[in-house]
Structures are given as C-alpha cells and as structure tokens.
Structure 1
Amino acid sequence: MTQGAKATLLEVIALGPRDAEHAEAGGADRLELVTDMASDGLTPPDSVVEAVLAATDLPVRVMLRDGASFRPRDLATLTDTAKRLADAGAREFVFGFLTEDGAIDVGACRALADELAGLKWTFHRAVDHARDVLAAHAALVDLGCDTVLTAGHASGVAAGADLLRKLAVREAGPRVLVGGGLRAEQIPALREAGLDAFHVGSGVRTAGWDEPVDVAAVRRWAALTA
C-alpha cells in the first residue's frame, strides 16, 4: 500500500458466532451479520447478535431488514429493533430502502439513521435495484452512510463494472464496498480502477450456506484483496 493510501477492506457475511470466529481467523477485516440468506439477508435474532459480538473482536455490521423486498414492512418496529440492538452493544449496521417508484427512500433511511445517531452504517444492495442506479448513488452523498454495498448493477459485478469504475473516481460519497456475485478473477481489474473494499459470502463457503465460513477460503480472499 502506498503512503497515504486507504487500507483495503475485506468484509465477510456471517450467520452466527462460528462464522465470526472463522472469518477472523482467516484475516477478514469486518463482518456483515444477517440471517435468512434465502431472502438475501434479514435482521438476525438478538441472541445471535449478542453471541457474535462476544465471539469476535472484528467490527460487526448488523443487518436491519424485515422482509425480502427493499421496502420496510414495519418501519416503526424496525426502528425499535435498531435501538434495542444498539443498546445491546451493536455499533455498526446495514440497511437501505427504495420507494415504490425505485428511488432511494430518504425518509425511511433517515428514520433509522436518526435512531442510530453517531453509529456507522452501510447502505446495502438495494441501491443496485433502483430505477436509476447512478442517481441513487448520488442521493446517498448526504444520507449519512459511510459505506455503500454495490455491484453496480442488479445482476452483479460483471454487469456493473462500468458504473463501479465511475464510482471509484467520484469526489464525494460513501466508500464503495464491492459485492454481489464477486469473483476472485475480477479483483485485479477492480483494484486497478481504484476500488479497495470487497464483500464476500458464498465465496468463502465451499460447502454452501448450511456450512460455516471456511477459514482457508477467507485467507485466500484476504491475500487477494490485500
């Protein structure tokens, strides 16, 4: 890493404390904690959040999402959940919502952000499903998130490469965390474009989501993205 350059980041999806331990042992820098990957990740139970926070020294970003769509089913309840998890020790979160017409739902996001004032959060891949993805990214500049998880396209990193390159050279906005169908062979070109944060889930689970994170696989990704 050159002097003054930002350290690279490898974030690994965790479903529980065993995943957290394995990801940390493999050299991950941060965790995204979720449940129900069949719905692309929902808010985990309180007991799981507490167990993961006790199992690792890594930063843990906890998903706040109560349904498979990118609209909150019950924003008031989700806000209460956010407060409860913050009171239990969670200090970083992941959320993001779209309106019915496919724009960033600024009101819903700010409701959660205000509840979590002072805490870090990621706007998740809802942004890739916006009606105008580039405009959606622009709307995040003043929203308060420090990170946006994006593939640049709803179909994944391969389809979103051009937009990812544009995001890499913009002057303002949250840090771009590349994820969504990310493959190891894509990393060199993404690094060359100036992207330095990467998010993996199935890529570190050689036996699928029913088995824990594979330590050796995390090590390979950590070496690749360093």
Structure 2
Amino acid sequence: MSTRAVLEVIALDAGDAVAAQAGGADRLELVTDMAADGLTPSPRTFSAIRAAVDIDLRVMLRLADGFAAGDVGRLAGVAGELRGAGADQFVLGFLDAGGGVDLDAVERVVAALDGCRWTFHRAIDRAADRDALRKELADLPGLDTYLTAGAAEGVDEGLPTLLTEARRRGEPGYGQTLLVGGGLRLGHVPELLSAGIDAFHIGGAARPDGWAGPVSEEAVREWRRTLDLPRGAGLR
C-alpha cells in the first residue's frame, strides 16, 4: 500500500506548529531568525513546540548566516542541550571555502547527535560538486534526507537536477530521501510526484502574510490536498 507524501513546514514557534499540524503537516523544521535563513532555536522554544504538537520535529543546527560551520564545539554543545530537551531529529550542513563539504565539522556535530536522524540542508545547492558531497556523506550515521531545490536559485532552475537525482535512487550516495524545498510552488508538485519524489518542504508558502505573519492552517491544507491527489492528476 502506498504511503502519502511527506509535507514538512518551517515553524518558528508553537503557534506555527499548531497551525501546520492542523493543516496536515507531517513534520516541522524548527528554526529562528529567518532574516539569516534560519538559525538554531533555543531549547525553550523547542520544548514549547514539542508540548504543543505530536508530529516529528527536526531542529536546525546553524549558528550564523551562510554555510560555514563556525564554532563547531559550541554547535556540538547546543546539539547536546537540544538532545537533553528531548530533540531527536536535526537539520545541518556545512561547506568549506571551496564549496566542498566540511566533513570534519559535519562528523563532529553528527557525533554529538549520537545516532539521531538528520537532514543535510540546502548547503548541497551551493556545493561545488553535489555528487562528490553525497558520496562523502553516504556512510554517516543518521543521514536520511537531503533538503534541496536542485539549484541555489530554487526549484524552477533546479528541476532537471531533482529529476535526475530521483532516477539515481539506490546508487551509492543516493539512498536518502529527496526533500524538495526552496522556491517550491504548487505547480511543481505533479511532475515531482510523477518522478517518484515524495517529500516536500515549505516555508514562505505557508505564510500568506510573509515571515512577519504566522503559518496559515488553510495554506498548509491546500498543500496537503495537492500532495494527496491521485498520482498523475492535475491541479484543480
């Protein structure tokens, strides 16, 4: 029996989380400070959201804008604090100055996660060599997802890459779930579903009033309805 596509929604606080779950989200990505493209929320914020909803939560591990790891010791410490608060899924991704994966930083932070599941985020869309990055990370414990638009500019430009990578599922470095996000629009969904992509990530698309406003339950519900259409069906 087929399972429904996963819908992940960015949440900044408990209100966002409640609206997203009510609209049909399967999972939340927890961040703060979207002006910096999403940084690590506090353990207190995590705890408030965990108390408000019962769906999966993935917590961003990122201390500053950009894709450099920064203070890896501090980052590992923050991960430990969040683990202590009950977090058991995470989001991270670090590049070096040349656009390669910062494997040392990733390995040190992943060690602090002690086997928790995690997503390598859109740093892959800024990587000098996506294929090399995937192969370097392939055997790290807990890595089960790549959040990607296929290109730094967004899904419009990255769609061919996403479709190509979907066809490579099962090859070395391509066993993880493709979670598509970054300029994702409802109009992209039918082609992505037809390609076998079954995980989708939205942020601004869930907020009709922009990042200054809350997640809209109805906006999330519209995405849920679209993802649940029979495969091959067009948008209504």
TM-score, scaled to structure 2 = 0.91
| Counterpart among 199, 207, 215 of residue 197 in structure 1 | 199
- Corresponding position: 1:71 with 2:68: yes
Equivalent residue, structure 2, for 1:52? 49
State the shift of 1:173 in Å: 2.4
Matched residue SS, 1:50: helix
Amino acid in the other structure paired with 1:32: E
Equivalent residue, structure 2, for 1:210? 212
Paired with 1:167 and 1:108, the residues of 2 have a C-alpha distance of 25
Paired with 2:161 and 2:137, the residues of 1 have a C-alpha distance of 15
Equivalent residue, structure 2, for 1:8? 5
Equivalent residue, structure 2, for 1:166? 164
- Corresponding position: 1:184 with 2:148: no
Equivalent residue, structure 2, for 1:114? 111
Q: Deviations over 1:134-177 (max 9, x none)?
A: 33233332233111100111010111111101211221421110
Amino acid in the other structure paired with 1:174: Q
Equivalent residue, structure 2, for 1:155? 153
Equivalent residue, structure 2, for 1:129? 126
Give the direction of change, closer, same or farther, for the CA distance of 1:102–1:6 in structure 2 (3 Å limit).
farther
Equivalent residue, structure 1, for 2:86? 89
Structure 1 portions without partners, runs of 5+: none
Paired with 2:92 and 2:209, the residues of 1 have a C-alpha distance of 28
Paired with 1:90 and 1:183, the residues of 2 have a C-alpha distance of 30
- Percent of residue pairs identical: 48
Paired with 1:143 and 1:135, the residues of 2 have a C-alpha distance of 14
Structure 2 portions without partners, runs of 5+: 229-236
Matched residue SS, 1:76: helix
State the shift of 1:6 in Å: 4.8
TM-score, scaled to structure 1 = 0.95
Q: CA RMSD in A?
A: 1.1
